[in-house]
Each structure stands twice: as C-alpha cells, then as structure tokens.
Amino acid sequence: MCGIIAYTGFRRAAPILLDGLRMLEYRGYDSSGVYIAGDGVYRALGPVDNLVQKIPVDVQGTAGIGHTRWATHGQPSEQNAHPHHDQQGGLWVVHNGIIENYAELRAELVAEGHTFISETDTEVLAHLIGMRYEETGDLATGLVRALERVRGTYGIAVMADDLPDTILTARMGSPIAIGVKDGEYFVASDAAPLIRHTQQILYLEEGEYAVITSEGYDVFSFTHERQHRSPELLDLPLDVVEKGGHPHFMLKEIMEVPDVLENSARGRLLLKEGSAKLGGLEDQVPFLRTVDRVVIVGCGSAYYAGLVGKLLIEDLAGIPVTVELGSEYRHRPHRVVGTTALVVVSQSGETADSLACVREAKRMGVKTIGIVNVVGSSIARETDMGVYNHAGPELGVASTKAYVSQLEALMLFALFLGRLRGLSVAQGAGLVCELMRLPEKVRDILAHRDKIQHIAEEYLGYDDFLFIGRSYNFGTAYEGALKLKEVAYVHAEGYGAGEMKHGPIAMIDEIFPTVAIMPSDSMYEKMRSNVEEIRARKGRVLAIATEGNTEILALADDVLYIPDTKEALTPILATIPLQLFAYYTGVLRGFNVDRPRNLAKSVTVE
Ligand code: M6R
C-alpha cells in the first residue's frame, strides 16, 4: 500500500519520478506527489496523470522523491498527499506503512509548539526527523533517533533542502529496493519501476537505512554499523512491466498464464519419478516426512488458492490441512499439536496479516513454508523454506496470473510431499504429465475469449451473481465472485453448491443469475442437481463445463467450455474464463480494471 520512489543522479528527476510513480500506481492511487530538489513540491488528488499536469516542463532538479498514496490516516486529498515536511519546512518525507503511535507523538509535538497541516501519520514522522536533524546536525543520526520513537511499519525516503543531492531511505516492515547505475541511484517500494533504468538491485533488510548521493551509496544498520551489501542482477525482461499492446495489464496478465505455467514448472517436473523438484524444499525432506498437520494461511485470492491447496495436500500426501484467513489466524491463540507446518500463500510476500502469521508461527516453534511470487519479499525471506511461483511482476491490482501460479505451486508442493508419503510413481507421473499439457489447454481457452466477451455482454444487465462449485472448485467459486466484485463492482457471492439449499437459493429469481463451475469430475452429478434446482426457480445459469459435455447445453442457459483435465487441475482451467468474464464485465461497465477503486495490490497494513 502506497508506493515510494526516489532518484539522485545527473538526469532531470521529474520524468523519472513520474514514470516510476505510474509503475507503482497499483499500490495506491488516491493521490500522488513529488519533491524535487531546488524546485519544490507538487501534489495532486487522484491518479498520477493529474500530478503530471501540475509539474512545469522546466523543472530541472536532478534529485527528488515521490509517492503514490492509498489512504490510511486522513481521506484522499491534496493536503494529505505526500511528500510531507517538518516544522521548518525544509525536510521532506515519503512513507509507505503505518506509524501506530502517531497520535501520541503528534500530541507531544503539538505540546512543543508544532503545527500540522495534514491528518497523516507521515507528517508526524517528518516533524520528528526534522527536529532530530536540527538537534544533531547530521541527517542519518537524526533519522535513526527519530525512528527510535516510532512504532509501526515504514519504508521511507527523506530529503532535506540543504542536502540537495542526498537521499536517505530506511526500512522497517515495508520493502525498499535500491537500483544502482553509474552515477545514478534509485529507490522504490519494489523493483518494477527500476528495471527500465537498471537491473542491479539491492533490497534493504529490516532495520537498515541507506545514505545515497549521486556518487554512491552506503547501507547501515540502525546502530550505524556499515553493512557491506552489493546489488544483485535481477535479469527480468523489460516487457514484464509494459502492457505489450493490450489495453490493460489485467488482460495482458491473463494472456500470460500459459507462459507462467511453463515458467513455474520449468526444471521442476520429474516425469520418471512422478514428482516435483523443488530446490527450496530439498534440504527439508527429513522435516517434511514428519509433518502430520498443515495450516495454510492467506488473504483474498491467496486464501482461495489455499482452499484448493488443502484438497491437493490431503489427497496427494494424506496430511490433514486447515485453511485460515491470515487476518483471523494471527489473532487467535493456537495450541501446537504434533508436527505442524504453516504454509503461507502470498503473491506480494508483504501482506501484513500473512506476514504476522509467519512471525506468530515462528514464535511458537512452527516451521513456515512460503508460496510466494515476489522474490526477496518479507515473507519469502522470513519463512523457513518455500516455493517461488515464478509468475513475474503482476501490475494489475486483481490477482490473475499470480492466482493461477499459486495453484500450480501448491500442486507442485503437494506432489513433492505426496511422493515422500506414499503417493505412487504412477499417480505422480499422471499428474506431471497433465501439468505439462496445461499451458496448451489454457491457450485453447484464451483463443476463445471472444465468446467470453460476448457472454459478459449478455450478462451486463444483472447486478447480483451467485458463483457455485464443489470440492476442488469450491475455492474457484469464491475466486470467481471476488474477481467480479473487485474489477466490475458487481455484487457476487461465492458459495459451496451443497450449501445453496441452506439459504442462498432464496435469492434466486429471473434477475439473479448463477455461475456454476461444473467440470466433468466426481462432483458433476451433484452440481447438475444444483443447477436443476436453480433452473426450477427461474434462475439463469452460466455453466463452466468440460468440452464434450453436450447435455449441459439443455440444462444451462449458457456454457463456457474448458478442456478436459484431471480433477485436481480443473481449478487452474476453470479460473481462466471467470477472470476473463470479470475483466470484460468491468471494461464494459466503463471501469479501470487495473486500478479498482479503494483497492491496492499489496495490503501492508492490517
Ligand atoms: O499479495 P498477496 O497474495 O498476499 O495478496 C492477498 C490479497 O490481498 C489479494 O489476493 C487480493 O485479494 C487481490 N485483490 C485479489 O485479486
């Protein structure tokens, strides 16, 4: 939530900062702002394009900081937009995170005569840093002294009018990436806006700060010990952060799913052994053999991926699994029974509630396993072991390719565990073989996206939807409903089809359609009965069914077909038409599907 960017070098900073903010907009887009050394500060309400209009073309400064905001303290307004300054007005801060004790600090500062312009927690931080800088005469010392008073999370960049070439950045709980190039240095909340300029990236660790000028950088711990850290080559193709001819990142990212499936399976599928090769788990085999209970945690789509993961692990490895929302699990007491492993699913690897679960589990001595997409993220670093998704950067706010990659990674994990726990070579090889075929099958669904667009047009007049599924597609129903809610603002409820008669069927009538996820698998007969029940109550039904199923044409009003596959893999295929259905509905309703209102991609606050 919130994106920060900073630059110091020899080029004009304004275009670099604005370009970077556009790449970070997925983290928040309520307002944005920049401070450019020697030129001043500019802020605007709404998307970064509004800020662009406000910056004069002759702004020449070669260093600056910028911010795109997802409001936490104080409503979206120009006054609350970052950068914020200190009491004297000469020190500037951009901040991603939350200062939990800001009210107490603000009251203290007010008592000392400070006045505040905004309602934000960040302005308090700016005042504190400014005050300590004035007292100590050294910006780094002042920064650390100020941070000693702060409780909460932050990734910050700081500049002072009297040090026009210098940027200080610090991290506690919110990521900071530093990009290194000859005579130019960049800071951002993630690497996406940096890779256009450099692929030499280093990530600050918790409790570290860096002093950066156009001549170099130094990283220190908060106790001022120099950390000898070098950047690493990221090696990401540039086009991962471009729309590549598509109107939206969301569509581009759905179209990338076949490549993502190939990438996340590359070098990991062992056909002869009927298993998966997962480097991040190999030296943990003795532990994994002893696990007798798995808890999966995640938020939003990651939680729904966890619902599928539960069945995969139970079916393939025979280990009982519970799935928990990160925001619930972290606040409950837990009794550790037997050998439990906590699996945390997170695209960003920065979701505050999921990260808190990792820390809580570790405190209890429970081993943690990350299913994470963003390499080097907090959850990736703090878990004991893990499986990367290899989906590449996802810039659309809605999880699409990342969700599919979570399903794939959970499948590989379940396969790996299964082969340690009695899954036969033949069973494993059957799944591996089918995993190899999946990219082609997804390409086939994508090739028929016109049909999905047409169906979205047909259903455009409805304001409420029910999504139902069972077993492996129980989670798919919830995920399909979430996609429609978040990008098209249409009321949609996910439900286990078996639960329908316990309540939701009361809502069904001619103006309340149902999307039924019903591939030809062990649940098909039961799903068919549920669809009959809906039709008997005049409900319109859009079925997601397996190619070759012709009887469904008489049963449902509309059908979107997916290729045949193994039951455990149907969620991967069934999700694609649901993502496209939500995408086209959102676009047809005139919404910016890449930047849904009120949302941010990475939920780094509770
Ligand atoms: O980065 P994470 O996977 O931890 O994010 C979890 C959720 O915030 C995320 O899946 C969210 O629900 C998306 N908006 C779904 O499209």
Residue at 23: amino acid letter: M
Which residue CA neighbors atom 9 of ligand 1 most closely? 300
603 has pLDDT over 90: no
Residue with CA nearest ligand 1 atom 7: 300
> Nearest-CA neighbor of 84 among 13, 2, 12?
2
Could you say which of 2, 299, 357, 441 is catalytic? Answer: 2
Rounded to the nearest angstrom, the distance between the alpha carbon of 32 and the centre of ligand 1 is: 23
Give every CB contact of residue 81 below 8 A, 6+ residues apart in sequence.
31, 32, 33, 43, 44, 45, 67, 69
The percentage of residues in the chain with a pLDDT greater than 70, rounded to a whole number, is: 99
Nearest to 370 by CA among 450, 286, 284, 451: 284
Task: Point out the ligand 1 atom lying closest to the alpha carbon of residue 347.
Answer: 3
pLDDT in tens, 185-218: 999 998 889 989 999 999 999 999 999 999 999 9
Q: Map residue 97 onto helix, strand or coil.
A: strand
| DSSP codes of every residue in 373-426 | SSTT-HHHHHSSEEEE-------SSS-SHHHHHHHHHHHHHHHHHHHHTT--HH
Other CB atoms within a 10 A radius of the CB of residue 502 amount to 10
User: Is there a contact between 332 and 586 (Cβ–Cβ < 8 Å)?
Assistant: no
Residues 6+ apart with CB under 8 A from 338: 292, 293
Mutate to test the pocket of ligand 1, among 299, 405, 478 (most ligand atoms within 8 A of CB): 299
Compute φ and ψ for 95, nearest 5 degrees: -145, 135
> Do the bridges between strand 464-469 and strand 152-160 make them parallel or antiparallel, or are there none, so unpaired?
unpaired
For ligand 1, atom 14, which residue shows the shortest CA distance?
398
Pairwise CA distance, residues 247 & 562, whole Å: 25
Determine the average pLDDT of the residues in 261-274.
95
> Which one-letter amino acid corresponds to residue 380?
A
Q: Tens digits of per-residue pLDDT, 138-149?
A: 999 999 999 999
Closest ligand 1 atom to the C-alpha of 398? 16
Q: Residue 174 burial by CB count (10 A; 0-12/13-18/19+): exposed, middle or buried?
A: buried
Output the CA 404–ligand 1 centroid distance in Å.
Answer: 12
% pLDDT > 90, the chain: 87
Q: How far apart are CA 84 and CA 521, in angstroms?
A: 57
CA of 351 to the centre of ligand 1 (A): 8
Helix, strand or coil, per DSSP, at residue 312: helix
Q: Report which ligand 1 atom has the smallest distance to the Cα of 397.
A: 14
Mean pLDDT of 321-330: 95
Q: What is the pLDDT of residue 601?
A: 79
Residues 6 or more apart whose Cβ sits within 8 Å of residue 188:
3, 4, 5, 6, 20, 24, 176, 177, 179, 194
Residues contacting ligand 1 via CB (< 6 Å): 299-302, 346-348, 351, 354, 397-399, 486, 599, 602-603
Could you tell me if 194 and 188 are in contact, meaning their C-beta atoms sit under 8 angstroms apart?
A: yes
pLDDT at 238 over 90: no
Write the CB contacts of 187 (distance below 8 Å, at least 6 apart in sequence): 4, 5, 6, 7, 65, 157, 167, 169, 176, 177, 178, 179, 210, 212
Give the CA distances from residue 394 to residues 24, 213, 364, in Å, rounded to whole numbers and listed in that order: 11, 31, 33
Looking at residue 81, its pLDDT comes to 95
Ligand 1 centroid from CA 139, angstroms:
37
CA distances from 158 to 55, 161, 404 (A): 20, 10, 38
What's the sign of the alpha-carbon dihedral 299, 303, 305, 310?
A: positive
Q: Quick check: is 601 catalytic?
A: yes
Average pLDDT, integer, range 128-133: 98
Residue ranges of domains in the chain, CATH in brackets = 3-242 (3.60.20.10), 246-435 (3.40.50.10490), 448-606 (3.40.50.10490)
Answering whether pTM is above 0.75, one says yes
What residue owns the CA closest to ligand 1's atom 8?
300
How crowded is residue 535: how many other Cβ atoms within 10 Å of its Cβ? 16
Number of Cβ within a 10 Å radius of residue 247:
12
Measured from the Cα of 354, ligand 1's closest atom is 4
Active site residue 2: yes
Structure tokens at 17: 């900062």
| Residue whose entry in the numeric block shows the structure tokens 């726990």 | 421
Average pLDDT over residues 569-587: 98
| pLDDT-based confidence at residue 499 (cuts at 50, 70, 90) | very high
The answer to whether 564 touches 546, Cβ cutoff 8 Å, is yes
Distance in angstroms (rounded) separating the CA atoms of residues 581 and 465? 12
Tell me the CA–centroid distance for residue 397 and ligand 1, in Å.
Answer: 8
- Taking residues 324-350, what's their average pLDDT? 92
- Average pLDDT for 265-288: 96
Burial class (CB in 10 A: 0-12, 13-18, 19+), 557: middle
From 343, 593, 603, mutation site for ligand 1 pocket: most ligand atoms within 8 A of C-beta: 603
CA of 269 to the centre of ligand 1 (A): 27
Q: Which range (11-20, 364-373, 595-604) has the least confidence?
A: 595-604
Q: How far is the CA of 189 from the centre of ligand 1 (A)?
A: 17
Torsions phi, psi of 352, nearest 5?
A: -55, -45
Pocket test for ligand 1, best of 254, 351, 373, 382 (most atoms within 8 A of CB): 351
Residues in Cβ contact with 100 at an 8 Å cutoff, skipping those fewer than 6 apart:
151, 152
